Structures are given as structure tokens and as C-alpha cells.
């Protein structure tokens, strides 16, 4: 069955920060997370790209990396990242399939050393979405559709105010999501989301 890249009308981010009601979405829980600072809901959406090995798509390697089970002997590149403990809240595959690794209420380890508008430690107040891809190839239409849907659901649940790239919060250190990413398209999705109701 092909992965769905469209949110159903019943899709939402539930009270525990998990995506529900999205056809074909999976949970692969990563140990690489911790608690957000008290009273710090996510307000920033950070877009990344990832491919393992670099510029190769498909396979289980990204999931293994986020689960700390990546075998360093499987590829020369994997030996260079052995022991790395990272995660993201979501991964969007090339076919638009969505995998969630960390509750959006928790702090995933995706941003690293980072700063945005004078605030350091962007992991504290951000949600990280990885797109399976690289700086060197365009993303797929299915990925944009999934990302747009996720952005709308997240903005309906959290007080998200901006969407940025990893390169924006870690300039000179990171380049993703890269030059092929269509910013205008996905920012419209975040801006069109209904406002978050006060709790």
C-alpha cells in the first residue's frame, strides 16, 4: 500500500503531543529526547533534510540513527557518526510517509548549537521536521503535501509563529534544508492555520 501524504479530517496532534488519525503514519519512539523547560511551548518549526548514507534514499538507516541502533559497520559514513545521539519529532519520507519519533510536548535533539532572534538552544522551543533528502536534489511533491499538512496541524495545537531552516538557526554550521526547498509554499500553510485557542 502506498503511503498516504494527506491528513484526514480526523488527524490531529493529541493531548500527549502525538500525531493521530493520519493514514499510514507510524511511531518509532526515540530515546533521544528530554523535557522542555517548564512553561515553554513550542513556537518555532525547524525544517531539516537528512539522508543515510548521504544522498541515498530509502532503507531503515534514519530510523536506526534516531533509535541509536545504526550499525557503524554497514557503511563507511556510518562509522563517522558512531555514538551520535540525535532525533527529530517527525520524518517525512520521499513518498510522503510520516514517522514520529518524539512527542511534540518533549524536546527532541535536532537543532544542536543554535540561535534564533537572540534566543539560544532552539531545541527548547521548537519542533523539528526532517525531510528525507539532501541539498542537491529537489524534494518530492508528496513531501510538500505532508509538510503542509503537518504544519497546519501543529499550528492548530501549539503557538507556532515562524518556520525556519536548520541553516537559519545554525548558519555556517548547517545548510539544510538546502537551496531546492520551496519556502513560500510551506510558509503559506503555517500562516493559513487557525489560531490556537487559549487554554
Catalytic member of 40, 130, 132, 197: 130
Instruction: Say what the pLDDT of residue 5 is.
Output: 53
The helix (run of H) or strand (run of E) holding residue 49 is strand 44-50
**DSSP letter (8 states) at residue 137:** S
Q: How far apart are CA 64 and CA 23, in angstroms?
A: 23
CB atoms under 10 Å from CB of 169, counted, come to 23
Give the per-residue pLDDT at 79.
97
- Residue of 186 and 78 predicted with greater confidence: 78
Quote the pTM value: 0.92
- Interatomic CA distance for residues 2 and 90, integer angstroms: 19
Q: Which residue has the cell 488527524?
A: 11
pLDDT score, position 190:
67
Q: Which residue has the cell 556510518?
A: 78
High-pLDDT (> 90) share of the chain, %: 86
Residue 148, phi then psi, degrees to nearest 5:
-60, -45
Mean pLDDT of the chain: 92
**Which SS3 state, helix, strand or coil, does residue 162 take?**
strand
Alpha helices in the chain (DSSP H): 61-66, 76-80, 141-157, 166-169, 183-191
**120 an active-site residue?**
no
- List of domains in the chain: 12-191 (3.40.80.10)
**pLDDT tens sequence across 103-141:** 999 999 999 999 999 999 999 999 999 999 999 999 999
Tell me which residue of 156, 163, 159 sits closest to 188, measured CA to CA. Answer: 163
The Cα 77–Cα 181 span in angstroms is 25
- The predicted model gives 88-115 an average pLDDT of 98
**Phi, psi (deg, nearest 5) at residue 122:** -65, -20
**Closest CA relative to residue 131, chosen from 114, 119, 146, 151:** 146
Amino acid at each position: 500500500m502506498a503511503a498516504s501524504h494527506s491528513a484526514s479530517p480526523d488527524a490531529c496532534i493529541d493531548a500527549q503531543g502525538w500525531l493521530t488519525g493520519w493514514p499510514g503514519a507510524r511511531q518509532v519512539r526515540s530515546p533521544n529526547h528530554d523535557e522542555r523547560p517548564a512553561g515553554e511551548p513550542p513556537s518555532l518549526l525547524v525544517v531539516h533534510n537528512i539522508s543515510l548514507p548521504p544522498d541515498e534514499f530509502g532503507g531503515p538507516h534514519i530510523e536506526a540513527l534516531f533509535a541509536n541502533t545504526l550499525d557503524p559497520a554497514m557503511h563507511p559514513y556510518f562509522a563517522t557518526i558512531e555514538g551520535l545521539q540525535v532525533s527529530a519529532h517527525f520524518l517525512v519520507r520521499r513518498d510522503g510517509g510520516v514517522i514520529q519519533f518524539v512527542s511534540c510536548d518533549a524536546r527532541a535533539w535536532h537543532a544542536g548549537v543554535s540561535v534564533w532572534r537572540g534566543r539560544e538552544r532552539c531545541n527548547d522551543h521548537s519542533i523539528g521536521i526532517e525531510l528525507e533528502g539532501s541539498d542537491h536534489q529537489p524534494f518530492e511533491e508528496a513531501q510538500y503535501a505532508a509538510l503542509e499538512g503537518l504544519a497546519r496541524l501543529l499550528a492548530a495545537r501549539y503557538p507556532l509563529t515562524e518556520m525556519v531552516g536548520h541553516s537559519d538557526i545554525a548558519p555556517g554550521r548547517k545548510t539544510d534544508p538546502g537551496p531546492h526547498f520551496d519556502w513560500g509554499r510551506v510558509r503559506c500553510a503555517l500562516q493559513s492555520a487557525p489560531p490556537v485557542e487559549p487554554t
